[in-house]
Amino acid sequence: MDIQHAVAQPPLVIRREDYRPPAWLVPDTRLAFDIDPAATRVHATLSVLRNGAHSEPLRLDGAGQTPLSVVVDGVAVNDWRVEDDQLFIPLSGDAHSIETEVEIAPDRNTQLMGLYASGGNICTQCEAEGFRRITFFPDRPDVLSRYSVRLTADRARFPVLLANGDPVAQGDAGEGRHWAEWNDPFPKPSYLFALVAGDLQVNRDSFVTESGRTVELGIWVRAADLPRTDHALHALKLSMAWDERVYGREYDLDVFNIVAVDDFNFGAMENKGLNIFNSRYILADPDTATDYDYDGIAAVVAHEYFHNWSGNRVTCRDWFQLSLKEGFTVYRDQGFSADQGSAAVKRIEDVRGLRAAQFPEDSGPLAHSVRPDEYQEISNFYTATIYNKGAELIRMMATILGPTAFRAATDLYFDRFDGIAATCEDFVACMEEASGKDLTQFRLWYSQAGTPRVSASLEHQPGGGRATLRLGQRVPPTPGQPVKQPMLLPLKIRLFGAETGRPLTDERLVLLDSNSETIVFEAVTERPVLSINRGFSAPVVIESDRSPADLAFLSRHDDDPFARYEAMQQLMLDTLVAGAVEGRADHEAAIAAVADTLDNPELDRAFVAEAVLLPSEAFVGDQLSSVDPEAIFRAREALRRDLGRRLEDRWRTAYAQAPQIPYVYSPEEKGKRRLRNVALGYLAAAGVPDAATLAFRQFEVADNMTDRQAALTTLVSSDDDLRIAALDIFYNRYADNPLVLDKWFQTQALSSRDDAAATVAALAEHPDFTLANPNRARSLVGAFGVNQRAFNRPDGAGYRFLADQLIALDRLNPQTAAKLLPPLGRWRRFDEDRAALMREQLERIVAQPGLSKDLFEQASKSLD
């Protein structure tokens, strides 16, 4: 077992206000690795410099390590001590050379932090605090060092030896071993260190930068996976060109390598010049990856590549500034993806993701601001708030500044902070300086948690008179922040005429900066309908008094595609909430709006597919004071059935639009597939007699995973026995492909059948299930946690199952366990009986002996 953080005393809280600059700097670092999966020797030589006048000893982080030797300026010393995972070395002068040696066992590293083994290869993961599990070092992002690295390993087992930067030399080490040296000329924090030793093949290409330098690109995978790397490589080249064109950022080394591994805690990691990826964000071919997977791969490849500037060249001063690199980089990758296809559909997907993951976080026990004030375990702060709300903050500033000033501001930021560990404040100050705009109040977005709620009501004096828009805002209390100040909310607004359907005003950007405000529009000649928060210009909840008829009107006439989608969603949401609360609802307005959207030939198919999809059960639950999962499920099924039956002809027509064969990954074809599969879902919901046959035929003849998985998903929630056949066929066909087997587990975990919870419990005993692989754990345990009805069964079986899995997973991989906890923390949103059952499981988790601080922090906060 390999857990350092047994919780005995009250956990240590790290506070942002306690930040102090490092006492010692490390301008140069030389590392020599003698690789052996069971016993790897790491020899480190650090040049250290006293930072300012003080008499503190050198203090190096080294989680769970004991040095085999400590050498100062070439002389072995023994006046060092290790205390609380830190090595203290007293030093007399201002500059010294320090050598340490440690031995570590990558093949026993189940946390997947530091140096670990995956599929027989050896790799690293250092962000945020993994480097201290490899060697002694000031493991904090504001200590930037130049690294040179020598790797020695068995040539047959590890023919490929990679590290950051550029390759320098390689050679034979005798006794079947070989070595390679890598040199990274750019000073970097330890969290960006990486190495890989493995038996890998490479898909190579090159990219010529704007200034004419040739960069060698390589994607390294197991030989069998090589044919599935072209899409990622293509996305990498598109990303490189995009960052030059849109942000003026050029790549800076001669090589850029990406390695894919099957065991990875997150999506991917931006190590300088050597990105390491979860294989699910690299490997794709039509037979095994969905359109959604293809999109995800391009987005993550772009994201990690963009970090070379937003994260690596300009890095973070401390981990409280995490959103400085993550929020900005997500904003950048969203812009990239928007440019590859439909920007409107991309925005809709991003907002849906924000509402599914970030809004619940912001209204629950784990709510924190985009720049948090404290943490126990930094790994718990790689959240939707830091990433996705952080991206929304950047987007709002870009909206307030306008494109020209925003670009000037990012240029200033990259230029001024190149090679520096910066703060969120530095970023905002550049936005102000380049634009001359005052963002004092805007800064509250960084410090105040919680999703602002905006009320909007529009009154009109009939007969060509004045229209008055009353806006209000309220930021709800969050843990540790009972009282909030009004924020600066950029709201794009436009009025449309109810009779003509034409716009009555231009689009305006309203900067709502107080608790309430009134905006007057003169000479409004017909009854106006309000379009607000167009493009989702601010990440807020809008509470408006627009009638179902007005929402339906906007879904037909609004010229902003997001607002049009939003009007439809709001209409459906109001219908579903009424259905859940009252047991029945009037479906007519929603049915008519869906019909009109399907009938409109001018709309892009991908947009139509998004617009006619019902809000998720969880999102409906978020609107209610107490979530009733059964009532929500029934209301949603009723509306789905009605939409399916009443519009059956239209769904059949949409379904008959034959897809292109063979598979083509293009925005057009993606949109067609999406709409077709949405249509299949509605036909199944309608209970048409041939629904299962249609799905099963699609399952069998599909030449791509998008259609095959969509058909499987439909079958898996049905009562038809064809679902058993389809699951067997799918399993046998892909038994040797772990990424596709994840889909097999996930699809069943998301089933809406009554027996879903029992099926999930049985699948946890399946020979292919393991908690040791994070993707597999997420595909079953993570997916089950978002299956609102199954997870929240009244008997509490879902809660017990999740707690059992988390307790077991925590012993292997605390980071991944802690990530899966949030569904249990939502007890306040449910009735008393469920709340008691959830709390019981949280208490059981907290009481576990030897619990990690990761899971302890999340579970104990969730009980408060």
How far apart CA 469 and CA 528 sit, in angstroms, is 11
Q: In this complex, which beta carbon is closest to ligand PHE, that of residue 225 or of residue 270? A: 270
How far apart CA 861 and CA 384 sit, in angstroms, is 17
Q: In this complex, which beta carbon is closest to ligand PHE, that of residue 141 or of residue 198? A: 141
Out of ligand PHE, Zn ion, none, which partner does residue 127 contact, by CB within 5 to 8 A per kind? ligand PHE
Is 326 in the active site? no
Residue 266 near ligand PHE by CB under 6 A: yes
Q: 572 CB contacts (<8 Å, ≥6 apart)?
A: 590, 614, 615, 639
Out of ligand PHE, Zn ion, none, which partner does residue 125 contact, by CB within 5 to 8 A per kind? ligand PHE
Q: In this complex, which beta carbon is closest to ligand PHE, that of residue 392 or of residue 622? A: 392
Annotate 115-148 with b (16+ C-beta within 10 A) or e (fewer).
bbbbeebbbbbbbbbbbbbbbbbbbbbbbbbbbb
Query: Helix, strand, coil % (nearest 5) of the chain?
Result: 45, 20, 35
User: Closest approach of Cβ 437 to ligand PHE, in Å?
Assistant: 29
* Residue 169 tokens, joined: 């030399």
Q: In this complex, which beta carbon is closest to ligand PHE, that of residue 125 or of residue 399? A: 125
User: Closest approach of Cβ 481 to ligand PHE, in Å?
Assistant: 26
- Which residues, numbered 78-107, are part of the site for ligand PHE (CB under 6 A)? none
User: Closest approach of Cβ 325 to Zn ion, in Å?
Assistant: 6
Let me know the angle formed at the C-alpha of 424 by 423 and 425, rounded to the nearest 5 degrees: 85
Out of Zn ion, ligand PHE, none, which partner does residue 182 contact, by CB within 5 to 8 A per kind? none
Residues 564 and 376 sit within 8 Å (Cβ to Cβ): no
Residue 268 near ligand PHE by CB under 6 A: yes
* Residue 46 tokens, joined: 């650090």
Binding mask 223-262 for ligand PHE (x = CB under 6 A): ----------------------------------------
Q: In this complex, which beta carbon is closest to ligand PHE, that of residue 328 or of residue 406? A: 328
Q: In this complex, which beta carbon is closest to ligand PHE, that of residue 259 or of residue 268? A: 268
φ/ψ of residue 253, rounded to 5: -115, 170
DSSP 615: P
Q: Please select the residue that binds ligand PHE; options are 65, 111, 118, 125, rule is CB under 6 A.
A: 125
* Catalytic residue chosen out of the listed positions 304, 361, 392, 610: 304
* Residue 525 tokens, joined: 């000649």
Residue 129 near ligand PHE by CB under 6 A: no
Out of ligand PHE, Zn ion, none, which partner does residue 347 contact, by CB within 5 to 8 A per kind? none
User: Closest approach of Cβ 786 to ligand PHE, in Å?
Assistant: 21
* Residue 207 tokens, joined: 């990219």
Q: In this complex, which beta carbon is closest to Zn ion, that of residue 299 or of residue 568? A: 299
CA 500 to each of CA 247, 497, 534: distance values in angstroms, whole numbers, following the listed order:
42, 6, 20
User: Closest approach of Cβ 411 to Zn ion, in Å?
Assistant: 21
User: Closest approach of Cβ 266 to Zn ion, in Å?
Assistant: 9
Segment interacting with ligand PHE, rule: CB under 6 A, options 86-94, 263-271, 420-428, 660-668: 263-271
CA 668 to each of CA 242, 306, 334, 613, 664: distance values in angstroms, whole numbers, following the listed order:
21, 27, 19, 18, 9
Report CA Rg, the chain.
28
Residues forming beta bridges with residue 521, ordered by sequence position: 467
Amino acid at 658: A
Which of 820, 811, 832, 800 minimizes the C-alpha distance to 862?
820
Reduced to 3 states, what is the DSSP secondary structure of residue 17? helix
Amino acid at 545: D
Cis peptide before 180 (omega within 30 of 0): no
Out of Zn ion, ligand PHE, none, which partner does residue 382 contact, by CB within 5 to 8 A per kind? ligand PHE
- Which residues, numbered 269-328, are part of the site for ligand PHE (CB under 6 A)? 269-270, 303-304, 326
Residues 116 and 47 sit within 8 Å (Cβ to Cβ): no
Q: In this complex, which beta carbon is closest to Zn ion, that of residue 127 or of residue 857? A: 127
Q: In this complex, which beta carbon is closest to ligand PHE, that of residue 326 or of residue 854? A: 326
User: Closest approach of Cβ 840 to ligand PHE, in Å?
Assistant: 32
Three-state SS sequence of 30-97: EEEEECCCCCEEEEEEEEEEECCCCCCCEEEECCCCCCCEEEECCEECCCCEEECCEEEECCCCCEEE
Q: In this complex, which beta carbon is closest to ligand PHE, that of residue 382 or of residue 699? A: 382
Q: In this complex, which beta carbon is closest to Zn ion, that of residue 293 or of residue 326? A: 326
Out of Zn ion, ligand PHE, none, which partner does residue 350 contact, by CB within 5 to 8 A per kind? none
How far apart CA 573 and CA 620 sit, in angstroms, is 7
How far apart CA 327 and CA 381 sit, in angstroms, is 13
User: Closest approach of Cβ 323 to Zn ion, in Å?
Assistant: 10
Give the footprint of Zn ion on this chain (CB under 5 A): 326, 329
How far apart CA 304 and CA 277 sit, in angstroms, is 9
Residue 382 near ligand PHE by CB under 6 A: yes
User: Closest approach of Cβ 715 to ligand PHE, in Å?
Assistant: 35
Out of Zn ion, ligand PHE, none, which partner does residue 266 contact, by CB within 5 to 8 A per kind? ligand PHE
Residues forming beta bridges with residue 277, ordered by sequence position: 260, 268
User: Closest approach of Cβ 311 to ligand PHE, in Å?
Assistant: 7
E-assigned strand segments in 466-579: 467-474, 489-497, 508-512, 516-521, 528-532, 541-544
User: Closest approach of Cβ 297 to Zn ion, in Å?
Assistant: 15
Out of Zn ion, ligand PHE, none, which partner does residue 642 contact, by CB within 5 to 8 A per kind? none
Number of chain positions touching ligand PHE (CB under 6 A): 11
How far apart CA 477 and CA 337 sit, in angstroms, is 34
State which residue has the least CB distance to ligand PHE: 266
User: Closest approach of Cβ 586 to Zn ion, in Å?
Assistant: 45
Q: In this complex, which beta carbon is closest to ligand PHE, that of residue 128 or of residue 524? A: 128
Out of Zn ion, ligand PHE, none, which partner does residue 597 contact, by CB within 5 to 8 A per kind? none
Which of 232, 202, 356 minimizes the C-alpha distance to 293?
232
**What strands, in cross-sheet order, belong to the sheet with 508-512?**
508-512, 489-497, 528-532
Residues 827 and 838 sit within 8 Å (Cβ to Cβ): yes
Out of ligand PHE, Zn ion, none, which partner does residue 618 contact, by CB within 5 to 8 A per kind? none
Residue 188 near ligand PHE by CB under 6 A: no
| 84 torsion bin: left (phi>0), alpha (psi -120 to 50), beta (else) | left
User: Closest approach of Cβ 303 to Zn ion, in Å?
Assistant: 5
Out of ligand PHE, Zn ion, none, which partner does residue 280 contact, by CB within 5 to 8 A per kind? none
Residues 657 and 676 sit within 8 Å (Cβ to Cβ): yes
Helix 548-557, helix 561-582: angle, nearest 10: 150
Q: In this complex, which beta carbon is closest to Zn ion, that of residue 330 or of residue 434? A: 330
Reduced to 3 states, what is the DSSP secondary structure of residue 771? coil
DSSP 441: G
Q: Please select the residue that binds ligand PHE; options are 127, 263, 574, 617, rule is CB under 6 A.
A: 127
Positions marked catalytic: 304
Q: Which residues bind ligand PHE (CB under 6 A)?
A: 125, 127, 265-266, 268-270, 303-304, 326, 382
